[in-house]
Amino acid sequence: MKKLIVIALLFAMVAGGAFAAGAADPKASLDSFPSKPVTAMVAWAPGGGGDLCFRALAEVFPKYANGQPLVIENKGEAAGVPGIVDFMRNSAPDGYHVMHWNPAHVIKTHMDPVPFEGTSFAPVCQVVLQNNFLVVPMDAKWKTLEDYIADAKANPGQISIGNAGAGGGNHFGALLFEIAAGIQLKHIPFGGGGPAITGLLTGDCMSTMANPPEGAPNVQAGQLRVLALFGDVRNPIFPGKDVPTGIERGVNFSISHWRGVVTVKGTPDPVIEKLQNIFKKCIEDPMFIQRMEPLGSTPAFTDAKTYGAQIAKDDVMYEKLVKENKLGNRYK
């Protein structure tokens, strides 16, 4: 009996201490967040667009995060699925685990059966935007987007367009361009954005749907011509080049490939808000902006609510495209 009383008293003391700790000023606790390194999963290989973007964030992160680093972890095989699964299994909802998220990951959930959905994670914020552009050899017969579309309408399915792989963001950009322009193209998948540009240069395809920085050096070197950039504004990655938007050329089509930060669902809202504010300051930092410019990425912050709505909207759009074009293996 005495032993039970002692155990009960010990339990009460521990519980009371825990309650007291929990009852401490939550604002003070939040002010000290983060108090240790934050790990960021980038489920792409080192050197890719997502990796370069998050490493640029990591350069400035300690300035706004109590001196704590943002530690990048890459796991890019199998379209990033193993890295995303690792993140799900090994991350606590405490704000110390975040992940790079972009449309390619959302598309993957509709192309193949995977153990997550495009909306399986808690949005923190959007970081940057990139826009597709249509590129052709400098000596191609099409000098303008209007020339290209007119030829495609006269010869349905005869103009080939390369992409970075079936079911990827560039492929879907090309599909959406087809719909907007009312044309039919012949899609040629390659093993990535770089190989697609190489295929264009070697004549394996007649045009390519690309995404900065893919092909930008070749445009700047005079080897390739951009017929249009599919964004709302022109991109400074092509300085001195007359690179119009599709909208300027009469095609009401704009597609943004965003990159953003997500975390584990169940992470407290105040912690997400603190992360959001830290990343906002990182995105506005001149060093980060300078790092993004050569990549053709436009720093473009949106808060957690807005970013979450964008993910959900794109999730619906990509599901529709996959089903209508009978792509992938998920819906067969």
Domain ranges of the chain: 37-130+257-324, 133-254
Contact residues for 140 (Cβ-Cβ < 8 A; gap 6+): 206, 207, 225
Instruction: Quickly name the fold that domain 133-254 has.
Output: D-Maltodextrin-Binding Protein; domain 2 (3.40.190)
What average pLDDT does range 232-244 have in this prediction?
Answer: 77
Domain 37-130+257-324 has CATH 3.40.50.300: no
Rounded CA separation 141/147 (Å): 8
Domains 37-130+257-324 and 133-254 are alike in CATH topology: yes
Q: State yes or no: pLDDT of 27 exceeds 80.
A: no
pLDDT at 147: 97
Does the structure show a pLDDT above 60 at 1? Answer: no
The span from the CA of 255 to the CA of 179, in Å, is: 13
Average pLDDT estimate for 17-29: 47
- Ranked by mean pLDDT, which of 216-230, 239-253, 274-288, 294-308 comes out on top? 274-288
Which range among 7-11, 120-124, 150-154, 231-235 shows the weakest confidence by mean pLDDT? 7-11
Residue 286 has pLDDT above 80, yes or no: yes
Q: How confident is the model at residue 249 (pLDDT cuts 50, 70, 90)?
A: very high
Please report which confidence band the pLDDT of residue 26 belongs to, taking 50, 70 and 90 as the band edges.
low
**Quick check: 9 pLDDT over 60?**
no
Residue 208's pLDDT is 96
Average pLDDT value for residue range 116-134: 96
Q: What burial letters (b/e) apply to 5-14, b meaning 16+ CB within 10 Å?
A: eeeeeeeeee
Residue scoring higher pLDDT (126 or 167): 126
C-alpha closest to that of 61 among 49, 50, 69, 51:
69
Q: List pLDDT tens digits, range 55-64.
A: 999 999 999 9
Percent of the chain with pLDDT over 90: 70
Average pLDDT in the 20-46 region? 77
Residue 93 has pLDDT above 50, yes or no: yes
Mean pLDDT computed over every residue of the chain: 89
Q: How many CB atoms lie within 10 A of CB 183?
A: 20
Give the percent of the chain with pLDDT over 70: 91
Identify the pLDDT of residue 193. 83
Phi-psi region of 67 (alpha: psi -120 to 50; beta: other; left: phi over 0): left
Give the pTM.
0.81
